[in-house]
Amino acid sequence: MCGIAGWVDYGRDLRTHEGTVRAMTQTMIRRGPDAGGVWLSERAAFGHRRLAVIDVDRGTQPMVVRDEDGGVRAAITYNGEVYNFRELRAELTALGHRFDTHSDTEVVLRAHLAWGAGAAERLNGMYAYAIWDARTEQVLLVRDRLGVKPLYYAPAPGRLLFGSEPKAVLANPLFHPELDAEGIAELFSVPTAPTPGHALYRGLYEVRPGHLVRFSRAGLHSARYWELPSAEHRDSPEQAVAHVRELLADAVGRQLISDVPLGLLLSGGLDSSALTALAVAPGAAATDKISTFSVGFPEDESPERLGAWNVADDEPYIREVVAELGTAHTSVAVTGGGLLAHRGAGLAARDRPGWGEPDTSLHVLFRGVREQVTVALSGDVADEVFGGYPYFHDCGGPLDEFPWLRDKGSPAELLRDDVAHLARPREYARERLREAIAEVPRLPGEHEFDRRKREISYLALTRWLPALLDRTDRMSMAVGLEVRVPFADHRLVEYLWNVPWRLKAEGGTPKALLRKAMSGLLPDLVLNRPKSGYPASSAPAYRRAVRDEVEELLRRDAPVFQLVDRAKVRRLLDDGAVLPGPRAAPHPTGGLEFLVAVNSWLSTYRVRIT
C-alpha cells in the first residue's frame, strides 16, 4: 500500500520541475513510510511513497519498462494490492513477458503492455494507479471497482495533476484551493452520501470507482470498465449459501498473502468474526496463532449507545470469538486523553472536514494496530452487500432522500441564508439522489419489492459505502497501516447483487444468508448477534474541549462564519440542543466538531470561497 503523485504537461519540460514533483510526493510519506522515489521525463513526472508489503526488497517505484535500446516504453506509480497477481504473472509469462521482481506492481505494468486499458478488467483487488505510455504519450488513471483506494486528479488545458490524496495536488503551486457553491452543498448537505467523482475543491475530481481516465494531447476522457451486472438469480437457497461461503473463503485466503506481519480487526460482530474464522481455518492462515485487534474504552468512558446504530457492548462477543478461535488478541485503548491528543488527525488525513470523534478514534485504534502488524483485514462492506443496516429494513414510503439520512438533520441547517440561497443544499441532495436512482442497473420484470431493495442496495454501494471506505483508507494510511476488505471482492459483490432479498434476509433476519454461510464456524452467540456499529466515546473531557472550542469561535471573527450563521449556532447552544452533524448516527459532539473542522480547514488550507 502506498501513496502516489504525478504531473503530466504538454506545455513544459517536467525534467526541470523535480523539486515540485518531490514536494507533491513528500505529502504521501505517511501512506508510504518505507521508501520513496520520483521518475522524470519531458512530459510526465511520477512520484511514489512505498509501504512495502509484497517483495519488500525489489518492488520499488515508480517502475519502468524499457525497450531493448533502453528507451522507456511505460512507467507506473501504483497504490494497492492485486490478489490474483500470481495467476496473471503466469499468464503474462506464457505470453513472453519476463519479470525482474515478484511484486504485483510489475504484473500490473506488464498487464497494461499486454492488454492496454483492458488489463483493469482482469485485476482482483484494491488499487489506484497511473501508467504513462511513452509510445502514445498519454497517461491512464485507473481505480478499483468499489473505490477502496482513492485517486484524485485536476485537469487543465494541456496539463493533469494527480495524487492518492488532495494534498498531493495541493502541493503543486499551479492548483489553488477554492470552494464554490457546489462544493458547499456537497460538504454541508451530503457528507455521508458523497457524489461519485466530486472532490469538494473546485477543479479537483476523483476517478470514479470502476472507471479509468485517459489524458492525452487530445484532452481527457473517462470511461467505465465495470458495473454491477443485473441478472436473474437461479441458484437454490442451499447453493447460494455454499457459493457465498466458497467466495468469501477464497477472498480471505488471497488476502492473507503478505511478506510482512498481518492481523485482523475483530469487533465481535458477525462480519469481522466471519473473516477471523475463515482466516484460522485449516490451510488458510500463514501462522498458527493469528493476531486480532479491537477498540476498547476505559470504564468511566464507556461507549455511547447511538440508537439503532450501536446497540450493544462488543467486549463479551470478542471474548467469545477469541476463546473459540484461539487468536492472539489485543484491545487498543481509546481514551479521552488520546482523542484530545489526536484531534487534528482527521482533517490532516482527509484534507477536508470529516466526522470528528469517529475519525479520531479510528486513527488511535489504527496507531495501536500498526505497532504490531503492517496489514489488517477488516469486515467493512459486509453490511452493504448483505443488507445489514437498519435502513435496509425500514424503507417504507417514497424514496425521496438517502435512506440513512431520513428524519435526520444535516449541517446545511446551519448555513447563512445568503450562502444557502446560492448553494441550494436541499435541492442539491435531491438532485444527487435522482441521479443515483437513475443509474441503477434494472432487471426487467422485477417485483416492486425487489426493485426497491435493489435501489437501496445500489445507494448503499455507490453513495454510502464510499464515505466509509474513504474514512478507513485515510485513517489507516495516515499511520502506514494497510487495511484489506475481503467483502469487497468483486466476485462476491456481483453475486450478491442479484440474490433476492428473501434469501439475504430470510424470515426478516438481517444478513441471514451470511449467518447461514458461517454456520458451524462461529459460536451461536456471535452468529446471531444483531448489528451494532463502531462505538462512539463518551469521554467527558473530550466533550468539554469541543464545546469550549466552539464557544471560542463564537467570540471572534472566525472563517467558518463566512458559511455558517453565528446566531443559529448561538441559539442552539443556549437552548441546549444538539447541533446537526455530518454523520448518519447521532452524537452530541458531531455538529460541534464539524464547525471546528470547517474553521480549521478554511484557515489551515487557505481555502478561498468563490
Partners of 391 in the beta sheet? none
The catalytic position among 2, 111, 142, 248 is 2
100 Cβ contact list (under 8 Å, min separation 6) = 58, 106
Could you give the count of Cα atoms lying within 13 Å of 461 in the half-sphere of its Cβ? 28
Residue 340 CA: distances (Å) to CA of 356, 560, 610? 11, 21, 33
Q: Is there a contact between 370 and 480 (Cβ–Cβ < 8 Å)?
A: yes
Q: How many CB atoms lie within 10 A of CB 223?
A: 9
> Does an H or E element contain 393, and which?
helix 390-393
Active site residue 2: yes
Other CB atoms within 10 A of residue 41 CB? 17
Pick from 415, 418, 355, 424: nearest CA to 569:
415
- Cβ(310)–Cβ(535) below 8 Å: yes
Query: Which CA distances in Å does 442 have to 445, 451, 452, 499?
Result: 9, 8, 11, 14
Helix (H) or strand (E) holding 4: strand 2-9
Q: Which three cell numbers stand for residue 65?
A: 519498462
User: Cα(17)–Cα(20) distance, rounded to whole angstroms?
Assistant: 6
State the greatest distance between any 2 C-alpha atoms of the chain, in Å, as a whole number.
75
How many beta carbons lie within 10 A of that of residue 299, not counting itself? Answer: 5
Inter-residue contact 597 to 552 (CB < 8 Å): no
Catalytic center residues: 2
